[in-house]
Amino acid sequence: MSADPVDYQTLVFPYARSSDQQASKPVSHPVVIAGAGPVGLSAAIDLAQAGHPVLLLDDDDRLSTGSRAICFAKRTLEIADRLGVGQRFVDKGVTWNTGKVFLRDDLLYSFDLLPERGHRRPAFINLQQYYVEGYLLDRARELPNLEIRWKNRVVDVKSQSDGALIDIVTPDGTYQLHCDWLIAADGGRSAIRRALGFESKGQTFRDRFLIADVRMVADFPAERWFWFDPPFHPKQSVLLHQQPDDIWRIDFQLGWDADPEVEKQPDRVIPRVQALLGKDAKFEVEWVSVYTFGCQRMEKFRHGRVLFVGDSAHGVSPFGARGANSGVQDADNLAWKLSLVLAGKARENLLDSFDVERVQAAEENILNSTRSTDFITPKTAVSRAFRDATLELARKWPFARRLVNSGRLSLPTMYAHSPLNTPDTASFAGTMGPGAPAADAPIRINTAPDWFLTQCGNEFVLVTFLDVGSLSLLTPAALASLASARVPVRLLNVVPPGTRPHAALIEDADGYLAQRFDARPGTTYLLRPDQHVAARWRAFDVDAVLAALDRALGQAERTP
Amino acid sequence: MTTPLNTHLNFPAPDDFYEALIALHRDLTPAQSELVNAKLILLLANHIGDPTVLAAAMAAARARIDVTAQSPDQN
């Protein structure tokens, strides 16, 4: 594997003075985003793609130092596709679907995270955070209405009814900006959260972990390997994972008593790595970090005109890859809603659903992450006894393997109780209920192979499943009603495999689409701009669609 | 109050069972015994499966245990 032509780790983005800094009174921007990490960049691109002017501030002038978040889930890749960077992620990333769990020297079990065929994206790729940020940044720079200011640190915020007043420190001193909307993507130690007097509360864990990224040529497969009590690191856990450029992530559990400063030293790190790889292994240590973590969240992610996304809003343990992935999904959830509010097409209360849906997601992530952590780091003697008993039983019996928890890996949240959902009035099999993220499937458009999800997103999409020979379920009158809806609705007409090619039809190439959506001729789905299901019916009814659209725009309870 | 947990005598030979349970731990250290007990609970719990029965059994096992009687350094 050759190194990427751009060394994203060494890029420095020069600070440039903005004319805003000498304005006599604070210049106002519609949207300011604090933090150019994966989450802030995703939100910025999403809003800028929709045509809004976006100002992105970052306190630094470089991308991520060290690989940091490396596991990017299928759902995040689908969002990245919508943002125009998914293919770069996948081309560079190491694709994997399989995880293995070992107890001491023995393989306990392995799992396949994507056992189904017919999805464009794999369950996971591994890609260093600096590549993720670098590719997002390359995309951001293609958007003329997206301005990035480096070395602009938000230090104080005053919340106002019409937005926020922000104090920013630069190498040239401090200046003030006003914004109508502020997105706080400024990380776990969010200055915005602190300035507004909010807390991210939860549980911290008494354990320390060492990340050693090593460069080596090795013939381990591209799989997630997790050991409990391995002979090379007794009584603790170890995780091994491949990254691009022949870099391997090794994560050693150290225990609470480990001294973080001492453990970072090469004379401590190298023997640990050698114990795993063998004393003759050739490797270079790329990056070392000793970390602790907590599982916590803010009570609410929307505070008037200030919206918290990613680590500023919530934190989890790394086991499960639920940090960066959930942050990007926060941005995905927020962007279309804020875009419609900015465009005057939805009322501000639509943003309350961002809070409801993403708080639910954070709770789900924290629950899964806490359970994994309790298994990996038992807090009491009896908890350890049950953990060890589970591992011993798992050698022999499958039931116990299902209890072994080395991380429950990130899956998208189904917003089952979202106020934006229209409840089903007919019965459907499968998992594609209101609130679920739409499943992918291979399709053909006029004989050209493509993927269903590339046709969805960025606006509302009405998917109708047709019989062979049919071109549309919609009468001209229904089409006219739909065209007069308050937001655009794109129509996708799906036909069964083998139908005569037609540019206006989507052929369900292998029948997976109808299967995954439990569709019959007449079945109709309304998908939100973030590809989640808003409503579905067994037969098309334009009034039902318009009512569901209103509800998905947060207009469910109309005042007479 | 009805409970899904069968608390009526269900052992065909109660004394035999009790003797076997004690014998199971013969010659084991306390740590080994703790592991054996944990494995036994997991095996039986999976055999039962029904979450309402398991929840009732857990509640019955913990009933009338005075948490405040614990010394603060125990955990």
Instruction: Render pLDDT for B4-38 as a digit per residue (tens, 0 to 9).
Output: 999 999 999 999 999 999 999 999 999 999 999 99
CB-CB under 8 Å, B42 with A393 = yes
Instruction: Judge whether B74 is closer than 8 Å to chain A, CB to CB.
Output: no
Is there a contact between A144 and A54 (Cβ–Cβ < 8 Å)? no
Q: In 3D, which of A506, A504, A486, A487 has the Cα closest to residue A496?
A: A506
Read off the pLDDT band of A557 (50, 70, 90). Answer: low
Nearest 5 degrees, angle CA A326-CA A129-CA A71?
Answer: 55
C-alpha A248/C-alpha A451 separation (Å) is: 32
CB-nearest to A392 from B34, B39, B75 is B39
Read off the pLDDT band of A3 (50, 70, 90). Answer: low
Contact residues on chain A for B75, CB-CB shorter than 8 A = 379-380
Average pLDDT over residues A222-229: 96
Cα nearest neighbour of A384 on chain B: B35
CB-nearest to A386 from B38, B43, B75 is B38
Nearest 5 degrees, angle CA A417-CA A421-CA A423?
Answer: 90
Name which of B24, B25, B33, B42 to mutate to probe chain A: the one with the most chain A Cβ atoms within 10 A of its Cβ. B42
Q: Does domain A209-292 have CATH number 3.30.70.2450?
A: yes
Contact residues on chain A for B34, CB-CB shorter than 8 A = 381-382, 385
Quote the tokens at residue A289: 């970090």
CB-nearest to A390 from B37, B42, B75 is B42
In SS3 terms, A140-167 reads as: HHCCCCEEEECCCEEEEEEEECCEEEEE
Helical segments of chain B, H only: 14-24, 30-48, 51-62
Query: What is the residue whose two structure tokens read 């002038």?
Result: A61
C-alpha A10/C-alpha B3 separation (Å) is: 65
Contact residues on chain B for A398, CB-CB shorter than 8 A = none
Cα nearest neighbour of A391 on chain B: B39
Identify residues of A whose CB sits under 8 angstroms from chain B CBs: 379-382, 385-386, 388-390, 392-393, 399-400, 403
ipTM of the complex: 0.91
C-alpha A502/C-alpha A470 separation (Å) is: 11
Helical segments of A196-299, H only: 260-263, 266-277
What per-residue confidence (pLDDT) applies to B57?
A: 97
Instruction: Render pLDDT for A126-167 as a digit per residue (tens, 0 to 9).
Output: 999 999 999 999 999 999 999 999 999 999 999 999 999 999
Instruction: Render pLDDT for A40-94 as a digit per residue (tens, 0 to 9).
Output: 999 999 999 999 999 999 999 999 999 999 999 999 999 999 999 999 999 999 9
Name which of A229, A384, A386, A395 to mutate to probe chain B: the one with the most chain B Cβ atoms within 10 A of its Cβ. A386
CB-CB under 8 Å, B38 with A389 = yes
What per-residue confidence (pLDDT) applies to B67?
A: 83
Backbone dihedral angles phi then psi of residue A401, each to the nearest 5 degrees? -60, -35
CB-nearest to B35 from A379, A388, A399 is A388
pLDDT at A472 over 90: no
Instruction: Render pLDDT for A355-392 as a digit per residue (tens, 0 to 9).
Output: 999 999 999 999 999 999 999 999 999 999 999 999 99
The architecture that CATH gives domain A442-552 is 3-Layer(aba) Sandwich (3.40)
Least confident of A13-22, A454-463, A498-507: A498-507
Instruction: Judge whether B43 is closer than 8 Å to chain A, CB to CB.
Output: yes
Query: What is the residue whose two structure tokens read 């301005």?
Result: A147
Contact residues on chain A for B45, CB-CB shorter than 8 A = none
Domain A19-91+127-200+297-368: give its CATH superfamily: FAD/NAD(P)-binding domain (3.50.50.60)
Instruction: Judge whether B52 is closer than 8 Å to chain A, CB to CB.
Output: no
Q: Give the whole-number percent of chain A exceeding pLDDT 90.
A: 91
Distance from CA of A480 to the nearest CA of B (A): 53
Distances (CA, A) of A376 to A205, A230, A235, A484, A503: 11, 13, 11, 55, 53
Cα nearest neighbour of A378 on chain B: B75
Read off the pLDDT band of B40 (50, 70, 90). Answer: very high
pLDDT at A320 over 50: yes
Cα nearest neighbour of A403 on chain B: B42
What per-residue confidence (pLDDT) applies to A559?
A: 42
Read off the pLDDT band of B72 (50, 70, 90). Answer: low
Instruction: Judge whether B38 is closer than 8 Å to chain A, CB to CB.
Output: yes
CB-CB under 8 Å, A379 with B42 = no
Q: How many CB pairs under 8 A join A and B?
A: 31
Q: Where are the domains of chain A?
A: 19-91+127-200+297-368, 209-292, 442-552
- Report long-range pairs for A11-14 (Cβ below 8 Å, ≥24 apart): A11/A62, A11/A63, A11/A134, A12/A61, A12/A62, A13/A61, A13/A62, A13/A148, A13/A150, A14/A61, A14/A150
Instruction: Render pLDDT for A510-537 as a digit per residue (tens, 0 to 9).
Output: 999 999 999 999 999 999 999 999 999 9
CB-CB under 8 Å, A403 with B35 = no
What per-residue confidence (pLDDT) applies to A499?
A: 85
Query: Helices A38-49 and A74-83, interaxial angle, to 10°?
Result: 40
Instruction: Judge whether B16 is closer than 8 Å to chain A, CB to CB.
Output: no
Contact residues on chain A for B74, CB-CB shorter than 8 A = none
CB-CB under 8 Å, A388 with B38 = yes
Helix (H, G, I), strand (E, B) or coil at A4: coil
Q: Which amino acid is at A252?
A: F
Distance from CA of A207 to the nearest CA of B (A): 17
